[in-house]
Amino acid sequence: MVQAPGPESGDVSIFEQSCAYCGARLRVLAVRVPDENRTQDYSCPECGKSYETEAAAEPQVRLVKARSDGKDDRYQETLF
């Protein structure tokens, strides 16, 4: 994970991850402020799979590399 300096009120965390469902590569920017962080959801822009991170506001997600699974379907949560 790469940490970038942020505004005085908090830190900006920038990290990359691969989507576990479709293989797309994502870059996530999250602002973290002490005592204000809470669980924030963000989704893969290629398939819609949801992820969570601790941040003070909704994370910004950028697509770095398109999905690599050769499909065009959307991820569907299943409850068992």
Does the residue 45 lie in any domain? yes
Does the residue 28 lie in any domain? yes
- For the chain, the domain total comes to 1
Which range marks the domain in which residue 34 is found? 2-65
Does the residue 50 lie in any domain? yes
Does the residue 80 lie in any domain? no
For the segment 27-33, the average pLDDT, to the nearest whole number, is: 96
Does the residue 75 lie in any domain? no
Does the residue 73 lie in any domain? no
Long-range interactions of 47-54: CB distance < 8 A, separation 24+: 47/19, 47/21, 47/22, 47/73, 47/74, 47/75, 48/74, 48/75, 49/19, 49/20, 49/21, 49/22, 49/75, 50/75, 50/77, 51/17, 53/28, 54/30
For the segment 63-71, the average pLDDT, to the nearest whole number, is: 97
pLDDT at 51 > cutoff 90: yes
Does the residue 55 lie in any domain? yes
